[in-house]
């Protein structure tokens, strides 16, 4: 029954549907990213560029975006760890925790930030909510003006759940990586030597 339903849905998806929705997603991302405060981004990037280890913590799709960011920071030669991995050590003073939560209330992410703060680490956060617990804990916060995932009637985005936040988060972390890379001027060939070779 599921197979039939999927086949029926696919049969009614036309090329014009795809074109319309590619435009929707592209335009929403462009408009949202254009509203991100570049000074907030620069402050967050400066925390990542300080000596010390970088830890990343996020849940769901935001967490997946932060894993991609962790990979790029590793390519720059940073000592990066993903919270929850079995080899991740304890965070401590001098380290920075990079976190993301659209609502700023995701329990596991907020708990990670609280733990990091108690250990004396700095916290760099992405969220849609400047009044959230996560924003309140952060030493540097970037507000992404996107709908929260439970804001189903939002006029900010026609996309489902937190898609726009996660898309803009990816663009923001890529821009930070690119900016950090610009300032170290390490050739791409050298960065590539750090890429995983156990694939």
Give Dmax over CA atoms of the chain in angstroms: 56
Judged by phi (left if over 0) then psi (alpha if -120 to 50, else beta), residue 183 lies in alpha
**Residue tagged active-site, from 114, 166, 174, 199:** 166
Stated as kind and residue range, the H or E segment containing 76 is none
The residue among 38, 14, 15, 12 whose CA lies nearest residue 143 is: 38
Q: Where are the beta strands (DSSP E) in 104-183?
A: 122-127, 140-143
174 is catalytic: no
Active-site residue list? 166
């Amino acid at each position: 029954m599921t197979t039939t339903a999927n086949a029926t849905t696919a049969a009614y998806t036309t090329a014009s549907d795809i074109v319309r929705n590619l435009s929707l997603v592209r335009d929403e991302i462009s408009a949202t990213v254009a509203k991100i405060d570049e000074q907030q981004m620069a402050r967050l990037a400066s925390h990542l560029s300080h000596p010390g280890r970088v830890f990343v913590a996020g849940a769901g799709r935001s967490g997946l975006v932060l894993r991609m960011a962790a990979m790029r920071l590793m390519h720059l030669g940073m000592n990066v760890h993903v919270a929850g991995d079995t080899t991740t050590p304890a965070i401590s003073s001098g380290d920075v925790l990079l976190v993301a939560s659209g609502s700023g209330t995701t329990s596991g992410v907020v708990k990670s930030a609280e733990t990091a703060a108690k250990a004396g680490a700095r916290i760099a956060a992405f969220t849609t909510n400047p009044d959230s617990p996560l924003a309140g804990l952060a030493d540097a916060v970037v507000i992404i003006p996107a709908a929260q995932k439970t804001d189903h009637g939002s006029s900010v985005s026609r996309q489902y759940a937190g898609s726009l936040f996660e898309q803009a988060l990816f663009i923001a972390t890529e821009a930070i990586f690119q900016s950090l890379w610009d300032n170290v001027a390490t050739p791409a060939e050298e960065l590539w030597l750090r890429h995983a070779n156990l694939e």
